[in-house]
Amino acid sequence: DAGITQSPRHKVTETGTPVTLRCHQTENHRYMYWYRQDPGHGLRLIHYSYGVKDTDKGEVSDGYSVSRSKTEDFLLTLESATSSQTSVYFCAISGTSGGQETQYFGPGTRLLVL
Amino acid sequence: AQSVTQPDIHITVSEGASLELRCNYSYGATPYLFWYVQSPGQGLQLLLKYFSGDTLVQGIKGFEAEFKRSQSSFNLRKPSVHWSDAAEYFCAVGGVTGNQFYFGTGTSLTVIP
C-alpha cells in the first residue's frame, strides 16, 4: 500500500469554526489531491497540488483552501465550516510507475459539522 | 469534457455467480482507465488499470476488465463472486490534462448466500 496517512480520522465540529485536515505521504510523489465523497455523488475533486506551493482548484473548491509547504504534506482547510461540508474526505497521491500514472488513496477523514 | 458513467447504482448477485460491472467513459483520446474497490469505512483500493496494449487486463482478487474502444467501455468482471467482494466499486479515467482523475458515481455490490 502507498504510504498515505490522514489526520484526524474523525472530527466533529460546529458551524462557523475553521477546520484543517492533514494528508501526509512518504512516497515523494509530485501530485496530491483532496476529494470529498458523498452518497450519490461519488468522489468530487476539491483541490489538487502539482508541487510545493503549486495548487489548483477542483470542481467543488468553494469554502475550501489548501496549502503545500512540503512535498509530503497537503493541508485542507475549511475556512468556516458549514453543515453542507459534512462528508468523508479523501486524500490521494499520484505517481508514475513504469511510465504509468496511478492514483492511490488515504484512509479518509469523516467530518461532521453540527 | 471527460466523464465516467456507471449505469448501475446497485447490483445484487449470488455467491458463486459471475459478475459484470459496467463503465462507460467520455474522452477524446485513449484514456488511462482504472477500477477501484471500497469496503465500508475504508479508502479506495486499486483493483486494476489499463494504459495501453492488451485490452484485457488482470487485477487483484480475481478481477479482470476489458477495454473496448468502439464502445467507450471498460467493464469489470469476475467469474465467481465471493461474499467478501461485497463493496462499492468505482471506475475512473485519469492521467489526463493536469494529471486529474475523474470518477464514476460508483456501483454498490451486494452478495447473497
Q: Which residue in the set A42, A92, A107 is minimally distant from B104, CB to CB?
A: A42
The model's confidence at residue A100, banded by pLDDT at 50, 70 and 90, is: low
Distance between A102 CA and the closest CA of chain B, angstroms: 7
Spatial contact of B112 and B81, defined as CB atoms under 8 Å apart: no
Q: What is the mean pLDDT of residues A75-94?
A: 96
- Kindly give the confidence (pLDDT) of every residue in chain B, 113 residues in length, as a single tens digit, with 9 standing for 90 and above: 778 999 999 999 999 999 999 999 988 777 889 999 999 888 999 999 998 888 999 999 999 999 999 999 999 999 999 999 999 999 999 865 557 788 999 999 999 99
The Cα B26–Cα B57 span in angstroms is: 20
Q: Which residue in the set A42, A92, A101 is minimally distant from B32, CB to CB?
A: A101
At residue A59, what are phi and psi to the nearest 5 degrees?
Answer: -80, -20
Using the Cβ of B56 and the Cβ atoms of chain A, whether some distance falls under 8 Å is answered with no
* Beta-carbon separation of B34 and A90 below 8 A: no
Burial class (CB in 10 A: 0-12, 13-18, 19+), B91: buried
Burial class (CB in 10 A: 0-12, 13-18, 19+), B66: middle
Q: Which of A5, A102, A104, A110 to mutate to test the interface with B (most CBs of B within 10 A)?
A: A102
Any idea of the CA torsion for B38, A1, B60, A44, to the nearest 10 degrees?
30
The Cα A55–Cα A60 span in angstroms is: 14
The per-residue pLDDT for B31 is: 82
